[in-house]
Structure 1
Amino acid sequence: MTDAFRPSATGTVRIEATPEQVYALITDLTALADCAEETVAMVWRKGDSARPGAKFSGANRNGSHSWNTTCTVVDAEPGQLFSFDVRSAVIPVARWAYEITPVDGGCQVTESTWDHRPRWIVGMTRFITGVADRTAANAEHIRLTLDRLKQKAEHAAEPGS
C-alpha cells in the first residue's frame, strides 16, 4: 500500500480456506456485496474483473438512507491483496483493502479502510448515510464483513460443497 498513514478502521480474521479461494470471493463483486453490511450491490463498469484501473459502482443502504459510489481498483494481486478507492461523484471517500496472508491450514485476512473525505464534507455525510460516527461504524462493519467472508469461504472449502 502506498498510503503513509494508518487506517481509520481495520480487522483481521483467520479463514480455513486457501488464499486463492478467499481472493476469488473478495474479487467476486456479488459475493463481496453479500458479505458487506451497507453495500447491497456492486457492478463492474470499466473492465469485468479485478485489475488495477478497473471500475465498479456500489449501491449502498443504511435504513432509509441510500447512496451510490464509484470505485477504482488500485491493487489486484491474486491470493494476496485487493484494494480500491471510493468516490462519490468527484469527492474522494475512502480506500478499502483486503490483505491475505497464508497461514497453516488457510489464511489470515485483514480488511482496512482509510477515510479520504475532505473535512468540509465529513459533517454532511451523516445526512447522506445516516451514520454519525463513520469510524466506529466501519470498525463494526469490518467485523461483520469478515465474519460473513469466513463463513462463506469455509463453507465453500468444505468437501462436497
Structure 2
Amino acid sequence: MEARVSESIEIAVPPSVVYEAVTDVANMGRWSPECTGADVKDDGLRPGVRPGMKFTGHNRSAKRPWSTQCTVTAAEPGERFAFLARGAGLRVAIWSYRFEPLDSGQATKVTETWIDQRGWFMHFIGPKVSGIHDRATHNRQTMKVTLQRLKETLEKEHQSS
C-alpha cells in the first residue's frame, strides 16, 4: 500500500507569493528541517520553473547528508507545484504543493503532500542512508515545521513590504 502524508496551513499572503517561495527550491532550506537546499540544472534555454526542470535536492538528518535527483512534474503558477525525487536512479517520492486562494486571494491554504514511491531496495537502504526508519511519521513532523516556518517568514516579509 502506498504511503501518503499531507499537511496544510493557512498563510496570510496571496497564492502567487507562496508559490514563488516554494518553487525557489534552492532556498527550501530556509524552512525545512531536513532539506538544506537544491542545485537547479539550468539549461539556459527556458528560464523559470517548468515541468521537466531538474534539480538536485540536498538533505541532512542527524545521521548524515544525502541528495536526490528531482524532476518537476507540475508547475502551475499560484496553483500547484510537484516533483519526483529519485535516489541512485530509483523512485523515492513525489512531493506536491497545492495553493488555494482564501480571503478573496489575499491569503492561501497551502497543502504539502509526500507520496512514497520507494520499492523494496529503497525501503531497505533508505534508513541506512538517512537514519530515518519511519519515513511517513518523520515527514509529517518535518512538513508541519516547514509549513509553519514558511508561514512565519512570508507573513513577516509581506507585512513589511
The alignment yields a C-alpha RMSD, in angstroms, of 1.6
* 2:38 partner amino acid: M
Runs of 4+ in structure 1 deviating by more than 3 angstroms, as ranges, are none
Equivalent residue for 1:100? 99
Structure 1 residues 2-151: aligned runs within 5 Å: 8-47=4-43, 48-104=47-103, 105-151=106-152
Q: Go from structure 1 to structure 2 and tell me whether the alpha carbon gap of 1:46 and 1:88 turns closer, same or farther (over 3 Å shift).
A: farther
Structure 2 counterpart SS, 1:85:
strand
Is residue 8–residue 115 contact of structure 1 (8 Å, CA) maintained in 2?
A: yes
Task: Tell me how far apart the structure 1 counterparts of residues 125 and 2 of structure 2 sit (CA, whole Å).
Answer: 24
Is residue 27–residue 37 contact of structure 2 (8 Å, CA) maintained in 1?
A: no
Task: Tell me how far apart the structure 2 counterparts of residues 103 and 7 of structure 1 sit (CA, whole Å).
Answer: 29
Tell me the percent identity: 32
How many matched pairs? Answer: 156
* 1:26 partner amino acid: V
Residue by residue over 1:3-23, the C-alpha shift from the partner in whole angstroms, topping out at 9 and shown as x without a partner, is xx9761110000000000000
Task: Tell me how far apart the structure 2 counterparts of residues 75 and 7 of structure 1 sit (CA, whole Å).
Answer: 20
Task: Tell me how far apart the structure 1 counterparts of residues 110 and 2 of structure 2 sit (CA, whole Å).
Answer: 17
* 1:55 partner amino acid: K
Task: Tell me how far apart the structure 1 counterparts of residues 2 and 135 of structure 2 sit (CA, whole Å).
Answer: 16
Show structure 1 runs of 5+ residues with no match.
Answer: none
Task: Tell me how far apart the structure 2 counterparts of residues 136 and 64 of structure 1 sit (CA, whole Å).
Answer: 17
Q: TM-score, normalised by structure 1?
A: 0.91
Equivalent residue for 2:153? 152
Show structure 2 runs of 5+ residues with no match.
Answer: none
